[in-house]
Amino acid sequence: MKKIVFIGAGSVQFTTAVVKDITTYPALDSSEICLMDTNEYRLKEITKCVERIKTEMGSAITITSTTCRKTALIGADAVIVTVFNGDVDIWRHEIEIPMKYGVNMNVGDTRSVSGIFRALRNIPLMLDICHDMERICPNAFMLNYTNPMAMLCKAMQTYTKTDVTGLCHSVQGTARMLCEWAEVDCADVSYTCVGINHMAFFTELTANGTDLYPILKAKIDQKEFYNKEKVRNEIFKTFGYYVTESSGHNSEYTPWFRKRPDLIRKYCSPAGANWNPGEYAFSLNLRKDPNRFDSLVKSFMEKPLEKARGHEYAASIINARIGDGTLFHFNANLINNGSVENLPYDACAEIPVTATKDGYIRQFQGKLPSNVAPLVAYTASIENLVVEAWKKKSKQMVYQAVSLDPLCSAVLSLQEIREMCDELFEINKDYLGDYQ
């Protein structure tokens, strides 16, 4: 029996989607699904959701649950990680303190000042999980969904021996969106998407050999389509390649959209937009609702179960590696090692790979287009600096990384950045330890 472990299983939408997908693979359908979460109430409720999946899918999976990570990892073959070191109040401070200084954040989990401090908080937890895996289940592999993806994967792949890669929804989600805009069947579409997490670009995008970019350029000239993704469409209009991840997230990663209130109103307003146009504290506000978890559980338990396989990568990767061995192509977060020649060699890149029983085979060797490479390489270099700052426990290097951040540098002076960081160090003192 294969054992698939969920560390941080309390995410209703994610855990249920992946478990359901696992049951659609015959080679995995007799696996043990071990749910681990430190919150006993959430663990009990998510276990009920998974038991419903087992019943309605007619599945042979075995379901276990525990609040002990080490117990969960005994005998594990695959480990899926979705964790958060801290609580909503910590996240709130990491959004509200920058706003006090004029840095307006949308999500704050991946880059800019909030993403940097989240990395400093989460790296120790992620390394603890990896070290537990090294001792308890050394042959298991990890699929990480925790943000900030690139900085966490860089740290884990540099400082542990764990077989780990990071996964994101943005590549396949954006591909589906662009197929819809271009009015083509996704099954007919081929693409190459390369860069870093949340800042990868579709360097090739075709349907049955036809380049879709001319069609998409015409589409975004229409107000209906332009308004759906104002930030990403502006980047596309200037640079000619479409970027992964929502407009709201991308508005935090560059100096062009959030440095003035008028720009935020113009490019990050909700009118006609997709799910995340860029409003202040968007994701944080969703999680402030104390009833949100119970509402999600109630909705899942009451609505009809969608039995078709979904769009998450995890189950297909697990099937390739420990199931029937069917190869699976996806974009993975791995140390670059020269795959993308004009990105830092030791940065964490997001590149096309193939999952096999023996691991991941890289499917890209080349360069990013010269017009987008500087933006991606600059951001990757900041991420490298943050991981180095964590390793050296250097407050000065954190100042430097935040000072180089495109949004912070567009809004604040160097002195203001140091003062803002000092407030964030104080808020995070129970998680960060002693930075000098």
pTM for this structure?
A: 0.97
Are 350 and 242 in the same domain? yes
> Which residues are paired to 141 by β-bridges?
78, 163
Q: Point out the catalytic residue in the list 131, 169, 249, 311.
A: 169
Sort residue 260 into left (φ over 0), alpha (ψ -120 to 50) or beta. Answer: beta
Residues ≥6 apart with Cβ < 8 Å to 321: 78, 141, 355, 356, 357, 359
Q: Is 249 a catalytic residue?
A: no
In 3-state terms, what secondary structure has residue 210?
strand
Are 339 and 270 in the same domain? yes
Are 222 and 300 in the same domain? no
* Greatest Cα pair distance in the chain: 61
Are 33 and 68 in the same domain? yes
Residues ≥6 apart with Cβ < 8 Å to 311: 169, 172, 173, 176
Q: What is the total count of domains within the chain?
A: 2
- pLDDT tens, residue order, the chain (436 aa): 999 999 999 999 999 999 999 999 999 999 999 999 999 999 999 999 999 999 999 999 999 999 999 999 999 999 999 999 998 999 999 999 999 999 999 999 999 999 999 999 999 999 999 999 999 999 999 999 999 999 999 999 999 999 999 999 899 999 999 999 999 999 999 999 999 999 999 999 999 999 999 999 999 999 999 999 999 999 999 999 999 999 999 999 999 999 999 999 999 999 889 999 999 999 999 988 999 999 999 999 999 999 999 989 999 999 999 999 999 999 999 999 999 999 999 999 999 999 999 999 999 999 999 999 999 999 999 999 999 999 999 999 999 999 999 999 999 999 999 999 999 999 999 999 899 9
Residue 262 buriedness (CB in 10 A; 0-12 / 13-18 / 19+) = exposed
Residues ≥6 apart with Cβ < 8 Å to 36: 5, 6, 7, 8, 9, 43, 65, 66, 67, 68, 69, 71, 72
> CB 212: neighbour CB atoms within 10 A?
23
Query: 222 is in which domain, residue-wise?
Result: 86-114+168-280+327-436
Half-sphere exposure of 370 (CA within 13 A, CB side): 0
Are 180 and 146 in the same domain? no
Say which residue the tokens 């039995």 belong to.
Answer: 307
Residue 194 buriedness (CB in 10 A; 0-12 / 13-18 / 19+) = buried
User: Within a domain: residue 134?
Assistant: yes
Are 128 and 266 in the same domain? no
